[in-house]
Every structure is written in C-alpha cells, then in structure tokens.
Amino acid sequence: MALTLGCGAANTEQASIPPREGVSEPHVDTADAAVTIEAKASQPDAGPPSPEPRDLEATWGGNADDTVLGTNVTLIVNFVEVRKHPDADKLAAVLNATPQWRIAPGALEPVRDLDWVRVTGPTLVTTDLDDVVFQHSALDEKVDNAITHELKGQRLALQVRGVKAWTATIGKGQRAILHAPPHLVAIIARVDADSVARQMTGASPAHTIASPVFHPGEAMRLRALHPGTAMPAVPADISEMRLWVDVRPSGGGADIHAEGDCPTSEAARIDADTIASIIRQQNTFGVRIITENLLGGATVTSVGTEVRVHIPASQRQIEAVLSVLASRLNATPP
C-alpha cells in the first residue's frame, strides 16, 4: 500500500528510523522493518507516482466543486474490483456486520450487489450527516421493498419525474432515499431531495451524478480536506489528503497510496518525520502479531510539498486484518 501527502520544495536529506531494540519478534512474513523517511527533489522519478486521474469530475463521479453532495470527506469504493479479490467473501462478512454498511437489509449486500458507492460528509463518523450515492445490480423491486418494509420508508412526493422517493430514519435522523434508473440510489438530507433527484436524472446538466472513473486495479479512494481535524494522527498543516487502494492483479495483495498537501517543503519534511514516528509507535508488538506486521513495510517520503507513504500488503496480512475486524464485529465467517 502507499500513502502520499503533499507539501513544499524538497531537499535531498534521507533518514531511516531504526527498529526498536530488545523486543522479541512475533512470527510474521517479514522482520520488524524500519519505517523509512526520505526527502527527494521534485522530479518525475521521485517516489511512487500517483496513478489516480486528475480530472476531478471523472475521479469523484460528480462536479469538480462537489456542490451538492460534497463536504469535507469523500469516500468512493469500487466493488466491481473488490469482488475480484480472493478475500472478497471475508470483506463481505465484515461489511454485512457493520451497521453503517447495512444500506437496505435483506435486499442489498455491499460486496455482492453494489458496483460503486460514494459517501460524503463532514467526517464520515456521524452517518446522520453523510450523503450516500451508489449504483447496484439488484432487482429494483427488491430494493424498493426493502426500503419500504425494512427501513420503514414513507413515500415522498418530488417535483422530479422518474425518481422514487421515501423518507426514513437512518441512524439518529430522518433522511430522504431516492431510487432512479439505472439502479441508482441516493440517501441524502430531505431538503436536498429535489435537487439531487434532478442530478440523478440529468435534469440539472450543470450538476450531474456520474459513475466515477477508476484506474486499473483501484478498489477505493478517499479525499479529505483538513484531515487533521478528524484524524489527530495527521499533522494539522496538511490541507488535503488523498488516499487510494490498488488491488494487485495476482497474489492477493494490495497497495495503499495516499498523498497530502503541506504549505512548504520544510513542512513536508517535518510531517514525513512525524507520520513515520506515529506509524512506528502504532506498530507495537501486539499489532505486529495480529496484522502480520503490516505496518513494518511502511515507507514515508517527502517530495517537494508532498509527503508520501507506501504500505504494501500481502494477502496474508489482508486476511489477518479482516480476521481482527470480523472478531470485533462478531461477523459470521464465510
């Protein structure tokens, strides 16, 4: 996996944080590798390049300014790619046991039935404030019945034709649920129902909801503005963080990438050091055991005004993390 954060001009200093001494190592695939910090000059071959497209409308499945559905954090999952992974059934068990992912119980299972989902909100912590849009492959009638009977949805009249709408209590608040062809669902604030319905049908050409464009192997992407507000581990001066996960075409592994923007190159160097230190602190003896030393392969790099982190994950490490999540959620194993 790889994580990249963006900051100012770069120097050529390179430092390595040595592994801790005097700690017996658990049985893992690799040794307790050092978290490496590296600063490079801004050049084409400096650090892992970002594979994500820079066309924001294509990348995020909507308008570049995210006028209606966007706030501080946007998460998009490409379930078409997720389903190809050998551990897709294990991830499905975890998501099916997670309340926030139980969109329409009895009708929709995220890994099985969704093509993609986009979630936006202030922090993605309080689902009452999040807007959700997804495209599914299930029978529309089955989804409509689940909204009506499972979610106790009450029909909602809209000014836009061709879109079915309900109101229902989701989490702690009332939300509007819209269902439009082809297999498009939006869960949003009631006040936005008509404007979002126009986006779903193309009746508002300036603001449309389009399927996100993914690069090959991309399973997930996240964009967060001022991420340190919701994630204390992220340095406060990082103004934007972008993270994506690529599934490897063979071997069952994956790579996590992310990048964040800092004010100066010096800030990038300092933030790289801070992030590497946090990763090392989090990778305790117990964490190394239960994750098969996932964090041991982390590399933190500053390139110009960017900080980049790369964490490769083997299939064994992915399965270890999924096992921990399944245990905590009492998920039924596949």
The 10s digit of each residue's pLDDT in 280-329 is: 999 999 999 999 999 999 999 999 999 999 999 999 999 999 999 999 99
Could you tell me if residue 171 is inside a domain?
Answer: yes
Residues 171 and 291 in one domain: no
Residues 97 and 36 in one domain: no
Could you tell me if residue 210 is inside a domain?
Answer: no
Residues 39 and 146 in one domain: no
Instruction: Please state which of the ranges 35-49, 107-121, 231-245 shows the lowest mean pLDDT.
Output: 35-49
Mind listing the pLDDT tens digit for each residue in 41-64?
333 333 344 444 333 344 444 433
Q: How far apart are CA 30 and CA 322, in angstroms?
A: 19
DSSP string, 176-194: EEEEETTTEEEEE-GGGHH
Could you tell me if residue 206 is inside a domain?
Answer: no
- What pLDDT is recorded for position 36? 56
Could you tell me if residue 270 is inside a domain?
Answer: yes
Residues 68 and 186 in one domain: yes
Determine how β-strand 114-121 pairs with β-strand 164-170.
unpaired
Residues 309 and 254 in one domain: yes
Q: How confident is the model at residue 209 (pLDDT cuts 50, 70, 90)?
A: confident
- What pLDDT is recorded for position 245? 97
Could you tell me if residue 207 is inside a domain?
Answer: no
- Global pTM reads 0.79
Domain boundary residue, one of 201, 228, 257: 201
Instruction: Please state which of the ranges 16-20, 163-167, 248-252 shows the lowest mean pLDDT.
Output: 16-20
Domain boundary residue, one of 201, 236, 269: 201
Domain span holding position 270? 2-51+215-329
Residues 197 and 135 in one domain: yes
Residues 131 and 196 in one domain: yes
Residues 69 and 196 in one domain: yes
Closest alpha carbon to 19 in 36, 43, 40, 3 = 36
Could you tell me if residue 175 is inside a domain?
Answer: yes
Number of structural domains in the chain: 2
Residues 174 and 304 in one domain: no
- What pLDDT is recorded for position 181? 85
- What pLDDT is recorded for position 123? 74
Average pLDDT over residues 243-257: 95
Could you tell me if residue 209 is inside a domain?
Answer: no
DSSP string, 281-321: HHS-HHHHHHTTSGGGG-EEEEETTEEEEEEEE-HHHHHHH
Residues 18 and 86 in one domain: no
Domain boundary residue, one of 153, 177, 201: 201
Could you tell me if residue 260 is inside a domain?
Answer: yes
Residues 181 and 292 in one domain: no
Residue 3 scores a pLDDT above 60: no
- What pLDDT is recorded for position 122? 82
Mind listing the pLDDT tens digit for each residue in 138-176?
999 999 998 998 888 899 999 888 899 999 988 778 899
Residues 255 and 302 in one domain: yes
Determine how β-strand 299-303 pairs with β-strand 36-40.
parallel
| Coil, strand or helix at 92 | helix
